[in-house]
Chain A
């Protein structure tokens, strides 16, 4: 990364010359990845347990990132390289559509609206939307949200969901989960809503806050690719299935979610 941006002016020129005219939908992402022996993944950088930037080395770390690394090896072989681009809930779809990344594995729920413009693999993780509140909060479930302020993140479908479940709640959208969590701590809202896995990650970092009310939606996370890249989604599905059979999948679940208090990680095991 660091070395690369020295080359930027040159790179820009080359990209300008070579990039023009290529239509993304005509190219097979899978073939390109095999040729380059690299898959470029869009991952999160602000979500503990799934994709969080580590201050030690500036790398993204989490379940999604490990999944991406393993899937890459399954598709390209042991020498295959996985590259990572940090995305946010807001930027992941534009970056995918624009071809900045080959695939997105970033706590992204498979939804009918999204399926209209991009394709998904089969679900690789089953989350559900829930609420994070201070331990002394009176909010027990989504029923108590009317008239309250709920914090969400720009680009997350949890914002749309909460508007349906609690139409009289006021919803504010922040840029990422770090801002959202701090806004909750600053009493800018009464609850933070998103998928339970993300919320448990935040609860681990922030004693005094807990996940409440169980899940009120089903959020199957999928690997997203551009429309028409069925060879890639099939390869991902096959890789995930292989990982489930040889226990890799469960080891990753245990690695990331085994120590999370209150999270029944064994329910996520797949065989």
Chain B
């Protein structure tokens, strides 16, 4: 294990870098997209609600691997070239955005009851009330679990290995097949994944205990 780590440390850290970069980008964009679709799911317009709902259900019920491979193999064949890292990150973003949308939607619904009417009665428009009253409270509920979403993203980013996204898992495959030391290669990257994910997980649990 130590041998593999010291011999391939630069390759492994490059992989870790791509993994974290992909996860951070995906977290950022899935938060934006997730918020948009969460709002669409609760607005009065029925068409918007249907679209919002359809998006969330589709992204939640199709495997991440299918979404990612679709962007890597199918979209470039018919529309525009997307490289492996980008395809993987797009896949991660769309997939995660559905889960974030669900969390934000339930956040909105848990606060909105009387607050919306209250805000409207002071003369605010629907969107003003949403922007200044409802969403800030919804985010308060949503922000803490974002750490867990990030952990999921780091783990899920291993699908980048299927599309040559240069992430940690891709490097592990490459190292395993040049050294023929399969188990140790994967143990090393397992430890590297844990170094990123475990502290966040523990911190999130600590936070949940403190808040709840």
Contacts and interface: CB of A to CB of B under 8 A. Distances in A.
Given A94-B182, A154-B173, A182 B84 contact: no
Interface residues of B, number: 21
Interface residues of A, number: 22
Contacts of A174: 162-164
Given A89-B177, A90-B176, A155-B177, A173 B182 contact: no
Interface string A178-209: 01001101111000000000000000000000
B95 interface: no
B170 interface: yes
B197 interface: no
Given A172-B84, A183-B72, A117 B77 contact: no
A182 B84 CA distance: 13
Contact of B170 (A89, A93, A173, A185): A173
Interface in B78-131: 81, 83-84
A54 interface: no
Interface string B166-190: 0000100110111010100000000
Nearest to A118: B180
Given A93-B180, A172-B84, A174-B164, A186 B174 contact: no
A93 B77 CA distance: 33
A64 to B, nearest CB: 19
A185 B180 contact: no
B164 A188 contact: yes
A194 B120 CA distance: 67
B76 interface: yes
B73 interface: yes
Interface of A: 89-90, 93-94, 97, 113-114, 117, 154-155, 160, 172-175, 179, 182-183, 185-188
24 contacts: A89-B177, A90-B173, A93-B180, A93-B182, A94-B182, A97-B180, A113-B180, A155-B173, A155-B177, A172-B84, A173-B170, A174-B162, A175-B162, A179-B73, A182-B77, A183-B73, A185-B77, A186-B74, A186-B75, A186-B76, A186-B77, A188-B72, A188-B76, A188-B164
Given A93-B182, A186-B76, A187-B81, 13 more contacts: A94-B182, A114-B180, A117-B180, A154-B173, A155-B173, A173-B170, A174-B162, A179-B162, A182-B73, A183-B164, A186-B77, A187-B76, A188-B76
